[in-house]
Each structure stands twice: as C-alpha cells, then as structure tokens.
Chain A
C-alpha cells in the first residue's frame, strides 16, 4: 500500500443532545412511556449511525424540572449509549436547559470539522423560567444556530409556540404526541431522521439556515390502542 500523505483520518463527529422535560406533570404514564420509547429507539439510532458510516454520533442527555442538570454529561458514542430511566417532579426549567445546551455547544468545545448538532426537545407543558434568555443563549452560539432542532410536544397542554420558536424553522413543526403509541413512534423518528439529515455532506449558505438541511415529513398520527393510552 503506497504511503498516504497526512495524519490520521477520522469520521466527522455529530453531537446529539436530548433535552427532556421531567416536571411533575410528566409523572406516571408520560415519563414511563418516554423512558421505554428512548430505550427502544437506541437500536434504530445505532442502525442509522451505521447507515451513515462517515458520521460518529455522540449522545448526551439534559433533563429539566425545577432546574436543569445533565442526565448524561459525557458525549457517549451511540453504540455505547445506554438509557437510565428519568423520574419526574417539579417545575419546567426549559430555559435553563437551553442555556446549558448552549454552553455545551460553545465554539471551544466543538471540533471545527463537526457535523451540525442535533437537539431534540421533549416537553408536555410550558416553561416556568426565562425561556427567552435560554433560547437567546443557544442561538448566540454558532453551533446552536446551525443545529438541527426538533421538538416533541406530549399531550394537550404542551406549549407549541415555545417549541416552534426553539425549532426556528417554519417548515418543521413540533411533533405532537397525543397518546402512548404516538410518543413511541415520534421518539423513534426524532432519534433517527435528524441524524441522517445532519450526516449529509451537502453544504448550505447562511440564508438557507437549517432549512437547507432537508428532512422528510414527520410520522403520521397513530390512534391510541386503548382510551387509557391517551395523554
């Protein structure tokens, strides 16, 4: 084999961050379903990463209730990623979660050759802290601005307006999970499709923004299997 010029070759890193609402209203069926759904979505997530072999996917998890904390702070390669169940209780510090995500995406923490990060925000209610400040912090970061951002609204009380502002792309709406089956399906979609989209080597100009990262339409609605499955 002829000697190749240059140093080590490597896949491009892709940072995937879950931001999950663990407020009191998530107690019971919602948080149980979410825990199950994410656990079931790990294999499809790994398969998606395998289908995009030039991307190296790293997963982290932020949880927010009365404050925001890292549930998994160390970027974990997707094939090593394991889900430990979240518990619910408290208020909805969504703004603080966005601010913490912003810190993680600061330029000095990110490799210049990285792929667009993926942020998935899951919530069933309204933020109870300074959402605007958190969103500004996120969007003030170049990597936050260029991230693929999707959101899942659980149940009828979720604030779609805030989730839409987080997404920041009028062509992508928050996914709405009205029942257990829809949440499972949407968690799976959010675990896989944005990774595939962000893994594309296609370039875009600033004017295109994340609208320049094509994403297929979200999954169709699913009827509840039982009335008790409705959130």
Chain B
C-alpha cells in the first residue's frame, strides 16, 4: 500500500480582494476551487488562478473562475479514470496531456461565455476608455478575446502515493514535510522558478502556445508523503518582505495546525490574507491549503529554544543564481 494511500486530506482556501482594488472599486480577480473524493480521500485537487486585472483584461475575473473550474474538473477526471493504473501513466498524462486539455477547454469556455454574455452598454459604460477600446476590438483583433479573460493557473493533484503540481504564470506552490516531532519542518518549492516573471509580467492562459509554458513536477512519495501543500497567487507572496518570509508560511501553518488544530487555521485564513494584502502588495491574495490528516502530532512539542527552524530542501530544479528567487 503506497504511503499516503489511506490518508484523508483536509482542504481550505480563501481569496480576498486586494487593498488596492478596494480603493479603486475593482472586483477580486482571483479564483480558487478544490475537489476531493468522499471522506476527503484521494483524488484531491486544488487550483488557484489570478486574473490579470488590467483594462485590456476586463473579463479576467471570469477567466480565472473558468480556469480553476476546468482545471479541477480535468485533473479529477484524470485521477479518477486512472485510479487503477500505475502512477507512471498518470505522470505522463498529467505532464503531456493535461496542460493542453486545460488550455483548449479554457478557450472554448471563454468563447462560450463571451457569446452568452456579450458586452452590454451598461458594462461598457463602467469600463474605462482603454477597456472599452479593448472590448470593441474583440472581433477584429486576434487574441483579443483570450486576453480579455487572461489568467494564470496553479494546480495540485494528490493521488494514492503521489502528487503532481502544474503552474502557468506567477504565484507559488510550497510543500511542507513533517518528520519526527523534534525535527524541523522541511519546506520546498516543487517547481523550478521562472526568473522572467518579474515586474508584474506573467505567462497566461491567453498566450499563444500556453500549453507549452506550464511548469510541472510529479512526486512519487514513499515513506514521507507531504504534510501540507500550499498554492498562492502572487498577491500573497509579494506581500512578504523576502522569499524566506513567505516560505515561513508553510512551516508556521504546520506548527499552528499541530498546536491549535485545523479549524483554527481554516477560521483565521481570511483575516491573514486580508492583513497581508493591506500591509503588503495591495493585490488580491488567495491561498489554498491541502493538509494530510494526522501529518503532525498534536502533541508535537515546540523545539527547545528558538522558534522552529525552517529547513529549505533543495529545489526541484536548478534556480538562476540571483540574489532573490
């Protein structure tokens, strides 16, 4: 029986409108969705997405919603259809077929949404000049429709004995592993960083060839399944002073779950995101958490002396030698 096969997974997620969007009277452009089998058993799937929010992407909130819904559905189908097939086949399909399926279905859904919800005079009146121009150019300019709905996508899928992670665009995924009670929590990024995603530039579902831009990692776990998986939009991780300050979220969550319980974390998540946005990036902030039930012992003592150290495991792939990630 693979490690983690009989595990159940708790899921929680929240998304808050960014402080800057509140000031500007804009909607939250992020979206989150999740699904698990009955009894919170695998397959478990979690997705977050960040709509671009620019005037030319005036329907990006809808684009993000469509992205998470389609991604969760597609990943769940893959995991359920292949329940009795070995993880190698799932790895191959998740890496080679799932991105293309998500992108194709997203474009189809965007087209359908636009046809069913054309821009009304009332909507146009609310849009600024640039957004109205973008709306007017939808039929005449290649790619304008997809750009209007543009969004990133982060996805985690957990099966029996494995997990996979897919990401298109900015945002971050962290995985925490908890060993013996006296051992520090290990936190790592399962995906290689993309050093080009700076200054609010991102890859997106709306880009030509988007299916080839996903980052992917498949993890067969034997003795040490992850304790916690965390998916965040960039509004959250950009709120932290340094990458290490953000990575500390994962180890702190493990510690809080051990000390206060899962419900405590789930209950306070919204306020934590809100505080992060207000004091940090000002952007919409979304966080999805998968926690393996029983991963941390409630009697796990705090380590002697200082706060639990966070050991960053080696990254999944070579990172650029930059001062910051």
Given contacts A54-B282, A201-B20, A203-B152, contact A9 B200 (CB under 8 A): no
Q: Would you call A28 an interface residue if the criterion is a C-beta within 8 Å of the partner chain's C-beta atoms?
A: no
Asked whether, in the complex, the Cβ of B244 is within 8 Å of the Cβ of A7, the reply is: yes
B53 / chain A contacts, CB cutoff of 8 Å:
201-203
Q: Would you call A170 an interface residue if the criterion is a C-beta within 8 Å of the partner chain's C-beta atoms?
A: no
Number of interface residues of A (CB under 8 A): 43
Asked whether, in the complex, the Cβ of B253 is within 8 Å of the Cβ of A5, the reply is: yes
For the complex, give the distance between the alpha carbons of A213 and B248 in Å: 32
A213 / chain B contacts, CB cutoff of 8 Å:
200
Q: Would you call B275 an interface residue if the criterion is a C-beta within 8 Å of the partner chain's C-beta atoms?
A: yes
Q: Would you call A86 an interface residue if the criterion is a C-beta within 8 Å of the partner chain's C-beta atoms?
A: no
Q: Which of B167-220 contact A (CB under 8 A)?
A: 169-170, 195-196, 198-204, 206-207
For the complex, give the distance between the alpha carbons of A142 and B195 in Å: 9
Q: Mark A60-97, 1 if CB is under 8 A from B, else 0.
A: 00000000000000000000000000000000000000
For the complex, give the distance between the alpha carbons of A132 and B150 in Å: 35
Asked whether, in the complex, the Cβ of A202 is within 8 Å of the Cβ of B54, the reply is: yes
For the complex, give the distance between the alpha carbons of A204 and B55 in Å: 10
B325 / chain A contacts, CB cutoff of 8 Å:
112
B244 / chain A contacts, CB cutoff of 8 Å:
7
For the complex, give the distance between the alpha carbons of A143 and B206 in Å: 23
Asked whether, in the complex, the Cβ of B152 is within 8 Å of the Cβ of A5, the reply is: no
A113 / chain B contacts, CB cutoff of 8 Å:
237-238, 240, 281, 324
For the complex, give the distance between the alpha carbons of A55 and B283 in Å: 11
Q: Would you call A3 an interface residue if the criterion is a C-beta within 8 Å of the partner chain's C-beta atoms?
A: yes
Contact of A107 among B20, B237, B246, B322 (CB under 8 A): B322
Asked whether, in the complex, the Cβ of A5 is within 8 Å of the Cβ of B252, the reply is: yes
User: What 8 A-B pairs come out closest when comparing CB atoms?
Assistant: A54-B282, A7-B245, A5-B252, A201-B283, A146-B199, A10-B241, A6-B249, A202-B54
Interface of A with B (CB < 8 Å)?
Answer: 2-12, 52-55, 107-117, 142-143, 146-147, 199-208, 212-214
Q: List 12 A-B contacts (CB under 8 A).
A: A4-B275, A6-B246, A6-B248, A9-B280, A11-B281, A108-B322, A113-B237, A146-B199, A201-B53, A204-B52, A208-B54, A208-B147
